[in-house]
Amino acid sequence: MNPTLPVGADYVRILPEIVLSIFGMAIMVLDPLVDEKKSQQLLGGLGLIGTLAGLVSTWIMAQSPGFAFWNMVQVDGFSVFFHVLVIAIALVLILTSYEYMAVQQLRAGEYYGLILFGLVGMCLMSSAVELVLIFISLEISSISTYILAGFRRRSATSSESSLKYFLLGSFATAFFLYGVAMMFGATGSTNIDAISAALNSGKVPLLAYVAMALMFVGLGFKVAAAPFHIWTPDVYEGAPAPVVGFMSTAPKAAAFAVLLRIIFEANAPGRFWLIWLSAVLSMTLGNVAALVQDNVKRLLAYSSIAHAGYILVAFAAKPELGAPAVMFYTAAYAAMNVGAFAVVSHLANENERYVTLENYAGLGRSSPILAGTLTIFLISLIGIPITGGFFAKFYVFSAALQSNLVWLTIIGVINSAIGAYYYLKIIVVMYMREAREEVPVLPIPLALRAALALTLAATVYLGVVPGRMLTFVQQSAQQLLQAEHTSAREQVGNAAVPRATQ
């Protein structure tokens, strides 16, 4: 019989979520108490400490892998990887926001609180093995990003962005929920392990295909995969620039974690053509539409659709090859995209005035540091060697090739070539074109320097010595794929599971 109350190990396995919620609430409570001038530094600092504490508690959590709260949450290498990833993204976001919020004259309190609460949802998404919990944490992560998108209260585009994101996002969530209900109807459970057992035990019910398709619609929206990508450019254009860097990586990474669990661990039926089609559409539509953009934020929005397409390519591959490729890609993409948006948000200046491609002309001369770092991020986004983007693409396409997906790989490579054009266009504009109007470049504050250094280091690290990261993602993907075999044993008395070796 299961114990009636959760025991200590249960709490350790959701420790990062608990710590982040506590810091989120502390920020919320302190917000009205502190002076508005100091609130930026104080609450931002508290947020920063919160994310650091989150990283430490993730490390503590990683020491006791297993199930918690009656098979709701599973701590394994896979969930630890995504915990670290999303918390690190938030850390860089807070470092970037420090200056941005001051320049834009936005209220600080709720902003940092919402980031931390959003993180709770994203972390839970990566460790949840129960569709009900996945749904609730998906909502936490989505709703906090809807609100963050509308934070530039004085700008109409920001409100538009928030509203569009909210309406379409709720619609997509409804699809996901309907899919969950159907999956329950098909297999009699909402637990991913139980679903996997039911689907692998002979005839797959027709209902499971419908359920899978509906859940894919919901998650496809969250990762901005075509044909569910229509919202992306408008939302990214209006939302505050650092938030765009955040929401194009962290909630996406969490949604990809959920997709990995549903598609690979539960061995979802009928996924192949669904994913194939969505991958091809995302890559092609994203890259082609990005060619004609002259707003940098819109351009990067279309580029993020294209990158979602590349990641989906790995989902079509064999599980043991695809899963590590997806994990590596999300990490590399997070490093370079968050970095690129850190530069964009610094240059944007008050009211985000300077975000068109033309404003970047002459940046190579006026601010060599910013132009240089942005160039490295763009090179990584293209996928040129010595950057993380190269190995990310390499692993994805080699996984696809080894799974005999020749056409998908060819389409992917052609798309990478198209993509190179618009990234290079930004570099060319920065270095080779004279500025037509004077664009003031503010001095780079310490926090932003730290943010840029971190993302740059991560991008180059993944591009020069990807070995350690690769072994780690391969191991944790292995754990993910073998999860259904272990869970049956642990279901007996999961709360009292002894410390398994990692």
Partner 1 sequence: MLHLVLFLVFGAICVAGAINLLVQSHPISSALSLVVVMASLAVEYLLLGAEFVAAVQVIVYAGAVMVLFVFVIMLLNAGVEERTKGSRVALILGIPGVLAGGLLVAWVLIERTGTATVGLGALPGFPKTIGNLLFHDFLLPFEVTSVLVLIAIMGAVVLASRPEPKNPEKES
Alpha helices in 228-271 (DSSP H): 232-238, 241-247, 250-260
Residue closer to partner 1 (CB basis): 197 or 420: 197
Residue closer to partner 1 (CB basis): 474 or 494: 494
- Smallest gap from Cβ 18 to partner 1, in A, equals 10
Residue of 47, 93, 69, 28 whose CA lies nearest to 338 = 93
Residue closer to partner 1 (CB basis): 108 or 396: 108
Residue closer to partner 1 (CB basis): 205 or 372: 205
Residue closer to partner 1 (CB basis): 295 or 475: 295
Asked whether the beta carbons of 207 and 182 are under 8 A apart, the reply is: yes
- Smallest gap from Cβ 143 to partner 1, in A, equals 5
C-alpha dihedral sign at 22, 27, 32, 33: positive
Alpha-carbon distance 445 to 96, whole Å?
9
Lookup: tokens for 128: 């949840």
CA dihedral of 339, 376, 336, 313, whole degrees rounded to 10: 160
- Smallest gap from Cβ 310 to partner 1, in A, equals 28
- Smallest gap from Cβ 107 to partner 1, in A, equals 8
- Smallest gap from Cβ 136 to partner 1, in A, equals 5
- Smallest gap from Cβ 5 to partner 1, in A, equals 9
- Smallest gap from Cβ 471 to partner 1, in A, equals 32
If you search the block for the tokens 């919020």, which residue do you land on? Answer: 101
- Smallest gap from Cβ 307 to partner 1, in A, equals 27
Residue closer to partner 1 (CB basis): 17 or 265: 17
Alpha-carbon distance 235 to 294, whole Å?
16
Spell 421-437 as b/e; 16+ CB within 10 A means b.
Answer: ebbebbbebbbeeeeee
Compute φ and ψ for 67, nearest 5 degrees: -95, 155
CA angle 194, 87, 117 (to 5 degrees): 80
Q: How many CA atoms lie within 13 A of 387 on its CB side?
A: 23
Residue closer to partner 1 (CB basis): 261 or 393: 261
Residue closer to partner 1 (CB basis): 31 or 265: 31
Which bin fits 354, alpha (ψ -120 to 50), beta or left (φ > 0)?
Answer: beta
Angstrom distances, CA of residue 172 to CA of 215, 221, 255, 307, 490: 9, 6, 13, 20, 34
Site residues for partner 1 per CB under 8 A: 2, 4, 6, 14, 17, 21, 25, 28, 68-70, 72-73, 105, 107, 110, 113-114, 117-118, 120-121, 124, 130, 132-133, 136-137, 139-140, 143-144, 146-147, 150-151, 153-154, 162, 185-186, 205-207, 209-210, 350-351
Residue of 430, 423, 427, 425 whose CA lies nearest to 366 = 430
- Smallest gap from Cβ 77 to partner 1, in A, equals 21
Residue closer to partner 1 (CB basis): 28 or 418: 28
Q: Give SS3 for 412.
A: helix
- Smallest gap from Cβ 140 to partner 1, in A, equals 5
Residue closer to partner 1 (CB basis): 242 or 309: 242
Residue of 344, 337, 346 whose CA lies nearest to 380 = 337
Residue closer to partner 1 (CB basis): 188 or 385: 188
- Smallest gap from Cβ 340 to partner 1, in A, equals 26
Q: Give SS3 for 246.
A: helix
How many beta carbons lie within 10 A of that of residue 441, not counting itself? 16
**Who's near 350: CB < 8 A, 6+ residues apart?**
103, 104, 105
- Smallest gap from Cβ 444 to partner 1, in A, equals 23
Lookup: tokens for 295: 């707003």
Residue closer to partner 1 (CB basis): 110 or 320: 110
Angstrom distances, CA of residue 397 to CA of 35, 177, 383, 393: 53, 32, 12, 6
